[in-house]
Structure 1
Amino acid sequence: MLITMNAAAQLKQFSLEDLNFGGTNYHNMIPEYRNITWWGDELVLRNAEECKLVNKANGKETTLFTEAQLNAWAKTNEDSNILNLGWAQFPYAGKSLVLIANKQERMLIDFKKKAVVWRQASKGQEFADWNNASKAVAYVSDHNLYVMDAEGKTTQLSTDGSREIVYGQAVHRNEFASMKGTFWSPDGTKLAFNRMDQSMVADYPQVNTFEREATYEPDKYPMCGMTSHKVTIGVYDMKTGKTVYLKAGDPTDRYFTNLAWAPDGKKVYMFELNRDQNDCRLTAYDAETGEKTGELYREVDEKYVEPLNPIVFLPWDKSQFIMQSRQDGYNHLYLCTLGMHGSRMASNTKSLEVEQLTEGKWEVLSVLGFNSKTKSIIYKSNEASPIQQNVYSVSVANKKRTRIDEGGKGWHEGSTISASGRYLLDNYQEPTVPRRIVAIDTQTGKSHCILNAKDPWKEKGYNIPEYSCGKLKAADGTTDLYWRMVKPVDFDPNKKYPTVVYVYGGPHAHNVDARWHYSSRSWETYMAQKGYLLFILDNRGSEHRGKDFEQATFRQLGQEEMKDQMKGVEYLKSLPYVDQDRMGVHGWSFGGFMTISLMTNYPDVFKVGVAGGPVIDWKWYEVMYGERYMDTPESNPEGYAKTSLLNKAKDLKGKLQIITGMNDPTVVPQNCLMFLNACSEAGTQPDFFAYPGEGHNMMGHKSVHLHERITQYFEDYLK
């Protein structure tokens, strides 16, 4: 026993500089990674100083070129050296061309001929979107949208761009998977783009306090029930020089999203959604005239429909495309054929035949691409387990599904397929596997391991806690919920430990899956080292478990989630080593909302809480997200009243620290400030800390400071 105790004492202790992403030693503490990309069906390893060809059969690496060589071939000087080989692209299968950039220009360099074969200016271009077919680039400069062709000719597409008239950028506050604002046709000669008029949206009065006299720097922030922006879609034709706008009608209180092009570039498709977000339509427009040519599909729901993926045409059949939908309760793939009559999904649709390709009580999580030879779709799903993500193929002809990844019970997050779809780069983790990367020939089944990362914590001699995972029943008595537990370092089952419940709980996120350490956040390890037990539960309302699972929280955010979290607390209380008198709770954003909800609705359960960036009342949240789950304050006054934490300020008993970024553009500071006001009126005493100039998350080394503060609060009041 003495030997064992001495060995444990000799193990290193973590600091937040080791564990937090803003820490000075963090980069040495994460599992080894390979920055590998596809060059057609070939693999290329991108390092800071060189790019190497990786043999898929044996893993042998052969240098293609170095950074020094590229700079010599490009004849650059110190002020215009290649910026970063980690961003090198190989856009043309079979051609020895690398796309690379410096501060002045982007270049195509032929690394066999050792020469630059094409250059294009890039300085001052924001939101640049380069097309490999035409070599044209769309970009924003001084709020206006421009297109530069392969020869360098520049065309200005807008003149009224401003803070209020936004071109070529993501719209709808990045909801509905809107992450960009320009969309090239397949041949790169036409550009569809967003134009967002937000002149009618109220300014939220953010303030820059870093000036000698604080300055006014407002955000455009449409709150639930208030006036939102208007989006229109333009199409620019490089051949004619003309721009038309899609004739979609009045854009007021409508959302346009997930744009896609027909393979021949003659039509633009998009999903149109009403403001209530319960009526979704797939529509088609003539790219030349802007005229609407048809409504192909319609999906309605008594709660909400949320389009998140554009349609994707089959590479071997221009009359067929893949659509993702939750119309049967789970997100699945549907094969859609143009020009046919009848539809199994929308009786009023006459121009589309729709056939379900995948089905079951699990979800397709993303589509990776296609294998044209086998006429199959490559996708990721959680069919094997709600906490796994695996790679499958499904045959378009017979719907046969085949699992094609290597790992048994892991999360295949970084897995990608080659241009032809024959080869899979399988990048995954398992609870005890930090990272493994394997090249797989899906046709022969042969594979080669490119990386089997070692555990950096064990390698460096750190004292590591125990990570475990299990499931329990939700408050509805039937639904399985998954949890993660991190036990204190040197755990003794005969002791009682202070316990912290970490919570998020909202849509489009989950905490527990089959990644390394069951996806444990490094702060949990830090707390376990200090003698705490951590418990994390994914309640109903979180992602990837089907429509009913997510929509259980509709119009009453926080209510069903709290019931499920309390089932987790009930389980914790059944464990002899959990100190029921020392229970805390912590979360950020939706998790901050959940933290204060739990602290005030169950004031005798939680002694200490730390709530970061919390929503306090959903009437102060933005239109797209807030109204999807809560409807408007006018149509759901009971729901807004029930979920508002202003009314709960009087019920606060334990120690609560609230933390916010003082310039948070996502959960505006008004939430925290009005809760503090409610507490002052009710006579309750929360603590408060604000980070000037920071947004919804603390960036850089301030994240270390943040987690030191969170930790110290539990140390002061819970331990």
Structure 2
Amino acid sequence: MKKLFILFISITSLATAQKQDISLEEIWNGTFSTQRMNSLNSMNGDFYSLLNFDRNSRSTSVDKYSYATLEKVETIVDSKNLQGLKYFESYNFNNDETKLLLGVDSEPIYRRSSLGVFYVYDLATKKLQLVDKDKIQEPTFSPDSKKVAYAKNNNIFIKNLETNEITQVTFDGKKNFIINGICDWVYEEEFSFVRAFDWSADSTNIAFLRFDETEVPTFSMDITGKNLYPTQQVFKYPKAGEKNAVVTLHLYNIFNKKTSKINVGDYEYIPRIKWTNQANILSVTTLNRHQNNLNLYFINATDNSAKVVLNETDKAYVDIHDNLTFLTDNSFIWTSEKDGFNHIYYYSNEGVLKNQITNGDWEVTNFYGINEKTKTLYYQSVEDGSINRTIYSIKLNGKDKKRLTNASGTNYASFSKNLNYFINTFSDANTPPIYTLHNSKGTKLKEVLNNQKLLEKLNTYKLSKKEFFTLKTEHGAFNAWILKPSNFDANKKYPLFMTQYSGPGSQSVSNSWNGTNDYWFQHLAQQGYIIVCVDGRGTGFKGAEFKKSTYLNLVKYETIDQIDAAKELAKRPYIDANEIGIWGWSFGGHMSTNCLLKGNDVFKMAIAVAPVTSWRFYDSVYTERFLRTPQENPAGYDENSPINYANMLKGKFLLVHGSGDDNVHVQNTMRLTNALIEANKPFEQAIYPDRTHGIYRGKNTRLHLYNKMTTFIKENLGKKEHTMKPFID
């Protein structure tokens, strides 16, 4: 019996030995990349288009496909057939799909914005027409396809495609002073849009926002670059409590070439403008500075009159979304958290509530659209559990709800324009993305793409299974996952490394396929660490009360929850209570820093990447949404800033930042650095020159960063002292 046991152990060890470890180099060189469908553009009818690249000819093409068969129907345009345009990087159709805007030489500005050179391609004549000789932003066809509006040098222009004439609409645009039709930095970052102009349905009017940044404080960053002298990046950045840009709404009439300023009452922000299905009615969303009072206006372009059709208030804040959808009669769909969970509502064209379409103690997470003929809406929700996403349909009257995807995990739908078909992307913690074609009733018609080859490749590695569980503390029950070493032994003790983001409305614990960091966690698990992630108070998809419980005290309760979670986990017999570390990026970096300081009896080490260290340094829109202004709530800002209790540092600390971070400025790290120096506290620091918030640009940047963090973890968490045995000859 003893010999058989030894033989079994030997066979098991051999099988384990044959499986390889995940290396950091493999994580960052694309070894574990998933196959994905190109981002598709739904076309008129049952068709979609894809931007494809031919490696042999080095050309790009826009190809048309059938939803019903997924087969290519035709090539709409191929750059190898275009004179003077060897390739293009982007494309957009006009309304009737007879013309395309093709973009080249894209140059990023901030997170979502970019400059580029654009051409109009006419499908009938197969000719190219240059929109402007200079790089421009956000070119957009008029609905009648006769014109293209765009922004250049902070002004709005219109190109007449029939006469080739260019009309300048605004003339006062000036960098760091006036912006017309394009968002300023903080709107782009926090309200998630760039193009701040929109054509009316009859191509008669252009509504646009004008940003007066004159009084907004200026922020500057030194750019090291590669020349003898560094340069500076200078831009307007409104920090919490400081002056925002003065934003005003304007209407430009194409025929009389006159611009009117529209009065929409008292407000601080105009986070959305959108023309309705009535050509002379514009919808405008306004918010007060506290972001807890939202008005939806209908503007009559005939007489410039404004009417409030919806008002929404909240004791904390009202979220901005893109779910406003107009029906033919200008009645509209709206989503709101007003009953405590995010749900779909139906209003008349006068703003009278017709009915609440969805309801329950769960959240709608995506609204896909409505088929007016069948009066059917399509949406995604967490009805199958807050860590899952499922696709549903429901009638406009709130009846006949149907589940359209069966598997529990994460489902994302890409619907055809007419809503007859959708391509579903499914994944869970054990299944990489699978793309399947469905009809509007949810019937699966065909598998489009899977990642079986990736699974086969991963089967040659020592991998640990992600286990989901609920972690309970005195302050709540929280979603969590745990990753144990593949050779886990419950009789041993392991160091614990916690990962989190924790930001308002975020989610780090989801039943979905690996992100890049998941492979890093697998790498750490192979080194003998247990990895745990906990979504504490303030995170999303569990109702408004849970999400907004951190209001006015950002990071305070989130920190308590991570410390409490570490204490609860430390009670498990296989976790070494003396060897607990934590890390995070951005908001998560603020959190990991706070945990190490305020939980200095719990956490042995922490890594903070690009952390906020005082909310006084962060932008007005995001910060005041959760804290109000520093003038109103100084305690909410200062009592949770690690700058003010740097003397509490006991454990090992690695502080990382990119010097070119236009979002969370390196000022945050430098001010904390000074506080730690004054407190005479040892720590390690890494500054990545000119890297932005993501710290990824440049050869080997991410690999270098993760090598550094991995080494820091190995040296400071769970490291055992080894006594050298005497050498015996």
**TM-score when scaled to structure 2?**
0.88
Q: Which residue of 1 aligns with 2:440?
A: 442
Q: Which residue of 2 aligns with 1:348?
A: none
> Compared with structure 1, are the counterparts of its residues 201 and 101 closer, same or farther at alpha carbon in structure 2 (3 Å cutoff)?
closer
Q: Which residue of 2 aligns with 1:145?
A: 156
Local SS of the residue matching 2:525: helix
1:304-359 deviation line (CA, Å, top 9, x unaligned): 22232352102xx32310111111111111111024xxxxxxxxxxx533421111
Q: Which residue of 2 aligns with 1:428?
A: 426
Structure 1 residue 386: Cα displacement: 0.5
Q: Which amino acid aligns with 2:475?
A: D
Q: Which amino acid aligns with 2:366?
A: S
Cα distance in 2 for partners of 1:464, 1:686 equals 33
Q: Which residue of 2 aligns with 1:352?
A: 352
Local SS of the residue matching 2:317: coil
Q: Which amino acid aligns with 1:428?
A: F
1:106-143 deviation line (CA, Å, top 9, x unaligned): 34454xx7x61664435534322323733333322223
Matches within 5 A, 1:478-557: 480-517=477-514, 521-557=518-554
1:609 aligns with 2:610: no
Q: Is the 8 A contact 2:571 2:577 kept in 1?
A: no
Quick check: 352-361 or 320-329, which moved more? 352-361
> Compared with structure 1, are the counterparts of its residues 359 and 696 closer, same or farther at alpha carbon in structure 2 (3 Å cutoff)?
same
Q: Which amino acid aligns with 1:683?
A: N
Q: Which residue of 2 aligns with 1:416?
A: 414
Structure 1 residue 56: Cα displacement: 4.5
Structure 1 residue 4: Cα displacement: 3.1
1:194 aligns with 2:209: yes
Q: Which residue of 2 aligns with 1:261?
A: 275
Local SS of the residue matching 1:506: coil
1:654 aligns with 2:651: yes
Q: Which residue of 2 aligns with 1:305?
A: 318
1:39 pairs, out of 37, 40, 43, with 43
Q: Which amino acid aligns with 1:83?
A: F
Local SS of the residue matching 1:675: helix
Structure 1 residue 179: Cα displacement: 4.3
Stretches of structure 2 that go unaligned for 5 or more consecutive residues are 1-8, 55-60, 106-116, 720-729
1:451 aligns with 2:429: no
Q: Which amino acid aligns with 2:347?
A: C
Quick check: 178-187 or 221-230, which moved more? 178-187
Cα distance in 2 for partners of 1:149, 1:708 equals 54
Cα distance in 2 for partners of 1:179, 1:387 equals 31
Matches within 5 A, 1:653-672: 653-672=650-669
2:137 pairs, out of 127, 133, 141, with 127
Q: Which residue of 1 aligns with 2:463?
A: 464
Q: Which residue of 1 aligns with 2:727?
A: none
Cα distance in 1 for partners of 2:80, 2:670 equals 57
Q: Which amino acid aligns with 1:705?
A: H
Cα distance in 2 for partners of 1:270, 1:97 equals 29
Q: Which amino acid aligns with 2:320?
A: P
Matches within 5 A, 1:312-327: 312-314=325-327, 317-327=328-338
Cα distance in 2 for partners of 1:8, 1:62 equals 45
Q: Which residue of 2 aligns with 1:292?
A: 305
Q: Which residue of 1 aligns with 2:108?
A: none
Q: Which amino acid aligns with 1:293?
A: A
Cα distance in 1 for partners of 2:480, 2:389 equals 17
Q: Which residue of 2 aligns with 1:347?
A: none
Local SS of the residue matching 1:552: helix
Q: Is the 8 A contact 2:502 2:535 kept in 1?
A: yes
1:532-583 deviation line (CA, Å, top 9, x unaligned): 2211111111122221111110111112112222332133213222222111
Matches within 5 A, 1:103-114: 105-108=118-121, 110=123
Structure 1 residue 511: Cα displacement: 0.7
Q: Is the 8 A contact 2:142 2:148 kept in 1?
A: no
2:288 pairs, out of 269, 274, 288, with 274
Q: Which residue of 2 aligns with 1:683?
A: 680
Q: Which residue of 1 aligns with 2:79?
A: 71
> Compared with structure 1, are the counterparts of its residues 427 and 149 closer, same or farther at alpha carbon in structure 2 (3 Å cutoff)?
farther
> Compared with structure 1, are the counterparts of its residues 283 and 45 closer, same or farther at alpha carbon in structure 2 (3 Å cutoff)?
closer
Structure 1 residue 279: Cα displacement: 1.5
2:179 pairs, out of 166, 176, 188, with 166
1:600-633 deviation line (CA, Å, top 9, x unaligned): 1110211111111111121122111111111122
Cα distance in 2 for partners of 1:188, 1:6 equals 72
Q: Which amino acid aligns with 1:167?
A: N
Cα distance in 2 for partners of 1:189, 1:694 equals 44
Local SS of the residue matching 1:319: coil
Cα distance in 2 for partners of 1:627, 1:599 equals 26
1:13 aligns with 2:21: yes
Structure 1 residue 216: Cα displacement: 3.4
Identity of paired residues, percent? 28
Local SS of the residue matching 1:369: strand
Q: Which amino acid aligns with 1:39?
A: M
> Compared with structure 1, are the counterparts of its residues 380 and 186 closer, same or farther at alpha carbon in structure 2 (3 Å cutoff)?
farther
1:229 aligns with 2:245: yes
Q: Is the 8 A contact 2:64 2:76 kept in 1?
A: no
> Compared with structure 1, are the counterparts of its residues 525 and 169 closer, same or farther at alpha carbon in structure 2 (3 Å cutoff)?
farther
> Compared with structure 1, are the counterparts of its residues 72 and 132 closer, same or farther at alpha carbon in structure 2 (3 Å cutoff)?
farther
Q: Is the 8 A contact 1:82 1:100 kept in 2?
A: no
> Compared with structure 1, are the counterparts of its residues 58 and 433 closer, same or farther at alpha carbon in structure 2 (3 Å cutoff)?
farther
Cα distance in 2 for partners of 1:319, 1:695 equals 43
Q: Is the 8 A contact 2:79 2:88 kept in 1?
A: no
> Compared with structure 1, are the counterparts of its residues 101 and 598 closer, same or farther at alpha carbon in structure 2 (3 Å cutoff)?
closer
1:243 pairs, out of 259, 263, 276, with 259
1:30 aligns with 2:42: no
Structure 1 residue 517: Cα displacement: 4.5
Cα distance in 2 for partners of 1:465, 1:246 equals 59
Quick check: 277-286 or 305-314, which moved more? 305-314
1:564 aligns with 2:580: no
Structure 1 residue 366: Cα displacement: 1.9
Local SS of the residue matching 1:634: coil
Q: Which amino acid aligns with 1:379?
A: Y
> Compared with structure 1, are the counterparts of its residues 470 and 616 closer, same or farther at alpha carbon in structure 2 (3 Å cutoff)?
same
Q: Which residue of 2 aligns with 1:330?
A: 341
> Compared with structure 1, are the counterparts of its residues 444 and 525 closer, same or farther at alpha carbon in structure 2 (3 Å cutoff)?
closer
> Compared with structure 1, are the counterparts of its residues 214 and 53 closer, same or farther at alpha carbon in structure 2 (3 Å cutoff)?
closer
Cα distance in 2 for partners of 1:51, 1:260 equals 28
> Compared with structure 1, are the counterparts of its residues 699 and 92 closer, same or farther at alpha carbon in structure 2 (3 Å cutoff)?
same
Structure 1 residue 637: Cα displacement: 2.3
Q: Is the 8 A contact 1:584 1:607 kept in 2?
A: yes
Cα distance in 1 for partners of 2:657, 2:358 equals 43
Q: Which residue of 1 aligns with 2:370?
A: 370
Q: Is the 8 A contact 1:128 1:137 kept in 2?
A: no
Q: Which amino acid aligns with 1:116?
A: K
Q: Which amino acid aligns with 2:423?
A: L
Q: Which amino acid aligns with 1:276?
A: H
Q: Which amino acid aligns with 1:622?
A: D
Q: Is the 8 A contact 2:270 2:284 kept in 1?
A: yes
Local SS of the residue matching 1:499: strand
> Compared with structure 1, are the counterparts of its residues 279 and 523 closer, same or farther at alpha carbon in structure 2 (3 Å cutoff)?
same
> Compared with structure 1, are the counterparts of its residues 123 and 393 closer, same or farther at alpha carbon in structure 2 (3 Å cutoff)?
farther
Cα distance in 1 for partners of 2:551, 2:223 equals 36
1:154 aligns with 2:166: yes
Stretches of structure 1 that go unaligned for 5 or more consecutive residues are 340-350
1:459-501 deviation line (CA, Å, top 9, x unaligned): 2633322211111235434xx3211222224333333222211
Q: Which residue of 2 aligns with 1:342?
A: none
> Compared with structure 1, are the counterparts of its residues 190 and 404 closer, same or farther at alpha carbon in structure 2 (3 Å cutoff)?
farther
Quick check: 37-46 or 138-147, which moved more? 37-46
Q: Which residue of 2 aligns with 1:588?
A: 585
Structure 1 residue 57: Cα displacement: 5.0
Structure 1 residue 658: Cα displacement: 0.7
